[in-house]
Chains A and B, each alone.
Chain A
């Protein structure tokens, strides 16, 4: 009976929320503020959520709900009326109200599925991204100031007396080789054996991120000088802010990642230091790296420390979507024009701006459409076949984007797939006449951040949490959310892409829910196998050997259990491989623990089965050819979480190594060839057994391991570090 109560709980909460927004909306409406309408819309949409909750009542015993039900109906009616009156008060077009009413009617009175249309609040930017407006404005002016630094000075530190912030900013670079190190897109894979950026990877898939090489080089040149200043600021318990405008944006981003990776060390070396997370604010920054950056930052829960401001038409955040060869001469001219230090007066580069705009848009269009095909679940292979004829930019957005519409609203977007679509669609033209003007604006807007953000406090903020239910039509219901989307120039096509991005995100969450529900099954399976192991041990047999012989029903049952668990884990790994789970998944402590427990108890059985069926004969050794993803991935999870080197947590493969050694040492004359390997394995075994990572059932009298070990030369055995475990 716990579920009905949770529903009840939700209802009370919702009712409170709705009343809150109604009150707030009424007040705002009275003070003549346009956002009042938006707040009211939120109240309206919450009413719909309530109705949705209502519709689930059917599932529960009617008796307990009859009274609640009546009560609720009444409230909905009241709220509905109240909302309508308030909308009238606001003198919003009659047509809109009729439309809303229609929707509302359908929502409330039809029994068909009810979609929660929108949850959008109008708050101040600071509330939405939890950062003070003052800091943002400060950061912006300091980011601009950094451009004027003398040649040799690589960064600027701004410490205001009395203020708790320390702002680090960097000058931009205006030579093309500092943007594109080479053709086509100047990208470079991060060193897979890193001292730096170890976190920028996809763990199970063992895929490292790709970043722009030129930006990385500049970052590496600046870091040694900056390091000590940062450490000092941390020690002074300051709020660290990294900021940058234009090509300095990526430097700020990389600095922040570097900081986050070393944060723990800072705290460890001096426990009194600030535990305040750093902030990274960029203005008109070009893209930094591929989709793995977003994946990794989300997994680490660092994503929300990164805020990117982008003017609706600014070309710079889009420029890396096009290959160098397509825009080199134009970009060169434009960069010269933008360079604040350039002393020669350059005429407005109308022609180059137009050419650059068209090229960037064409390439951005390819990237966006290719991504959209994926978002929409397109199944045909043409979009992939095309990739063997054209090259698409690998760069993708991450973090929180704040789009400045140039009007009164700011649009905040966190879904990186949606951001990519907006980067393309928001620059689209509505008519041919606009062309030259917008092209020139796309260049000039790059230096308009400071003026745009001047009256930041008064701006309305549209914050998209729910992308699936966007109003698709751009000329109906042009209020609230619709209006904001219009101001950003998003056509129906664009909105469909955003919906698809939202739907994919939701689907990933659904996948995770599905997997979480399997936890009990996993637990059951693991307990059963742990029981099996204990029973075997009671008979002085290692469960590895027991399964390999498979004499009893118990062994057979264990094998079936193993296969049941394999089914569950294989499904998870398959989803991870296709990035169909939320990015956070591999960061969940609980799953890492489940994975490790699973690997340690079950992998020996997989190995036993492998060698029992002689799969090594036609497939090759287990470690080389036979090891399933479910163990390779879970091992990487643990190694990454513990920050230990790859391959060091190989205890679950112990038996595979023994089997391999058994085969290779059939003829003991070869001992010298494998001596090194045996020595290192013995050392590891000692450690694993002491840490209880490996059970001591491996030392039973008749275990495959002991039998083999006893065949090793006496001389070796007597000196071995594990001889103490083995009963001679």
Chain B
């Protein structure tokens, strides 16, 4: 709905998180775990079962000394050397990097975690939490869980980190935030007095900058819960988070001596204060007249995180405008998001029109494949339009499914599989026709086939065979249905090419062999009633092939298919 862009809900979301009590719950476990941490230990983790609920909390802490050491290294490890996280890579973002500190610590506990993960499965609600670098490890562990969250009935984990440093680059940010569900599985609590969350993005930290530029290498992902002594607010858009983290850094630097000693920041007090302010109005008052609700919301957010400093010149805070812009861009990006059901009925109309085209072509004794290939009349040109809108729709659909987390993907696939399969069977022959129309083009399946057809076909296979239908009913209706193998015509075209070769005297064993394979393939399709009877129409390419082939092999040659064709049994195939 269009009210989406009118409001900024950061404060409300933050308030929900605080009043849910989950922050206190998580932090209590962390502080309990700190007391158990041995002097010699680098990292410690523990599972806590919640009484009277099907929820467990997995907490991580890292020894303060080790933390100090590790935070001085800002190196990133490229994804090529992180086989464990390869599942995050997609076609679009093929590489990313993760901070060495986080990876080093994660490796220490990887074996234990893996066996733990296998033991609990995905059927219980899990909060993964950690403080400082412990939070980084918690994030990495949550990422691993997301990998396997594909079976139905699994619960989404929630990762809550306290004062964790940024752990990845733009690649990681994109890999996670292109997926709406993944991004909101991470909640990073960051206090304005804590240096660590913005350590790697601080303009005062020369190592965190890319060479020759002012842009930091590290990028945030997930939802940030930013808190100050005035209150708290949440931010989701990664651009806005970066802006605010940098602004916080500048704000603090203005007020504090730059070389202050680093210490582990205690979030217990922060959480306690936030909880106690629920019943208070707080400072959420506007001092000026603002009419735009979104702008007012942003001003409140900045107040809550202590950044609503008035400029000396009396101008309004430039951060407000920046955040407004971020929010606008973020919302419109969301809005542009693909909604498959929106256009579905329109596409069904296109399919109906194509079906009609198929029917008309049939009455012309050609079949729609050849009708389209020859483009003899006006109606063939119309088809190009439907075909284009259908192809765009399904290409986008397949791309969207590819970007989805696996769990949604699975259910999504089943829902759209029927339409997708129908589309593929109807439209791919037209693509094949276009492909072979260009002279000399060969081997569609290897060189010409669009990725989305391959995916659609693969999904159908993975979904398992449809209910085994009786061959009788199949036969009854075969005239109305489409050829099951959408690449059937590519096979025909290849066979035509082979015949051409033979006719030109390029007699070769492999050519003959291929033709025999084709024969067998066709016969099998016929037996299964998997091809449409249209292929036997007088003007079809298949019949063209048959004429060629019949000449080449001569009358003495005998096979199942030649018998079938010669005896004109195909006339009863409908």
Contacts and interface: CB of A to CB of B under 8 A. Distances in A.
B443 to A, nearest CB: 31
B48 interface: no
Interface in A596-631: 612-615, 617-620
14 contacts: A99-B289, A377-B9, A381-B184, A427-B279, A429-B280, A477-B289, A492-B284, A493-B11, A493-B281, A504-B1, A556-B359, A560-B353, A570-B344, A617-B466
B469 A472 contact: no
Interface stretch (A78-86, A273-281, A360-368): A360-368
Interface string A539-559: 000000000001001001001
Contact of A386 (B20, B236, B480, B481): B20
Contact of B296 (A365, A369, A496, A613): A496
Interface of B: 1-9, 11-13, 15-17, 19-22, 55, 125, 127, 155-156, 158, 180-181, 183-185, 187, 223, 234, 236, 275, 278-282, 284-291, 293, 296-297, 300, 331, 334, 341, 344-346, 348-349, 352-353, 355-356, 359, 418, 422, 466-467, 469, 473, 477, 480-481
A70 to B, nearest CB: 30
Contacts of A115: 291
A427 B17 CA distance: 20
A489 B3 contact: no
A531 to B, nearest CB: 18
Contacts of B21: 362, 390
Interface of A: 99, 102, 115, 357-358, 361-363, 365-366, 369-370, 372-373, 375-383, 385-386, 388-390, 427-432, 435, 469, 472-477, 489, 491-493, 496-497, 499-500, 503-504, 506-507, 510-511, 550, 553, 556, 559-560, 563-564, 566-567, 570, 574, 580, 612-615, 617-620, 663
Interface hub of B3, B185, B287 (most chain A Cβ within 10 A):
B3
A428 B281 contact: yes
Contacts of B293: 472, 496, 499-500, 503
A43 B469 CA distance: 74
A399 to B, nearest CB: 24
| Residue among A378, A383, A428, A504 with max Cβ neighbours from chain B (10 Å) | A378
Contacts of A358: 279
Given A380-B236, A430-B281, A476-B288, A369 B15 contact: yes
A617 B467 contact: yes
Contact of A550 (B15, B181, B359): B359
A363 B127 contact: no
Given A362-B21, A362-B278, A377-B3, A385 B158 contact: yes
Candidate in A428, A472, A500 with the most chain B CB atoms within 10 angstroms = A472
Contacts of B55: 389
Given A115-B291, A381-B181, A500-B293, A365 B19 contact: yes
A226 B536 CA distance: 80
Contacts of B349: 560, 563-564, 567
A565 to B, nearest CB: 9
4 nearest CB pairs, A to B:
A567-B345, A618-B466, A377-B4, A376-B7
A392 to B, nearest CB: 9
Which of B22, B125, B344, B349: most chain A Cβ within 10 A? B349
Which of B17, B293, B296 has the most CB atoms of chain A within a 10 A radius of its CB?
A: B293
B356 A363 contact: no
Nearest to A564: B349
A385 B156 contact: yes
Contacts of A380: 13, 180, 183-184, 223, 236
Given A493-B284, A615-B418, A377 B12 contact: no
A721 to B, nearest CB: 31
B348 A376 contact: no
Contact of A500 (B7, B125, B344, B356): B7
Contact of A567 (B1, B5, B284, B346): B346
A456 to B, nearest CB: 29
A496 B3 contact: no
B290 A369 contact: no
Contacts of B356: 553, 556
Contacts of B19: 362-363, 365-366, 369
Contacts of B469: 614, 617-618
A3 B288 CA distance: 40
B125 A472 contact: no
B473 A373 contact: no
Nearest to A388: B125
Contacts of B234: 382
B13 A369 contact: yes
A550 B156 CA distance: 48
Nearest to B17: A386
B286 A473 contact: yes
Nearest to B12: A372
A369 B349 CA distance: 43
Nearest to B237: A380
Contacts of B300: 492-493, 496
Given A365-B15, A365-B19, A563-B345, A507 B2 contact: yes
Given A472-B296, A473-B287, A511 B185 contact: no
Contacts of A432: 280
A476 B281 contact: no
B16 A614 contact: no
Contacts of A550: 355, 359
Nearest to A117: B291
A564 B350 CA distance: 11
Contact of B12 (A369, A506, A511, A574): A369
B560 to A, nearest CB: 27
A475 B281 CA distance: 14
Given A361-B279, A475-B286, 11 more contacts: A366-B16, A377-B5, A379-B180, A380-B180, A386-B20, A390-B21, A429-B279, A473-B290, A496-B296, A566-B345, A618-B418
Contact of A357 (B1, B279, B418, B422): B279
Contact of A473 (B223, B282, B285, B341): B285
A489 B281 contact: yes
B13 A613 contact: no
A377 B6 contact: yes
Contacts of B297: 376, 496
B136 to A, nearest CB: 20
Contacts of B291: 115, 469, 472
A472 B155 contact: no
Given A389-B127, A619-B418, A574 B341 contact: yes
Contacts of B290: 472-473
B127 A492 contact: no
B480 A612 contact: yes
B476 to A, nearest CB: 9
A369 B17 CA distance: 9
Contacts of B477: 614
B281 to A, nearest CB: 4
Given A472-B293, A503-B3, A497 B12 contact: yes
A386 B22 contact: yes
B92 to A, nearest CB: 21
A379 B4 contact: yes
Contacts of A563: 345, 348-349, 352
B16 A431 contact: no
Given A473-B288, A489-B281, A507 B1 contact: yes
A559 B352 contact: yes
Given A380-B13, A381-B184, A428 B279 contact: yes
Choose among A511, A563, A566, A612 the residue with the greatest number of B CB atoms under 10 Å from its CB: A563
B481 A431 contact: no
A492 B234 CA distance: 17
Interface centre among A469, A510, A560 (most CB of B within 10 A): A560
A511 B1 contact: yes
A435 B279 CA distance: 9
Contacts of A369: 12-13, 15-16, 19
A664 to B, nearest CB: 12
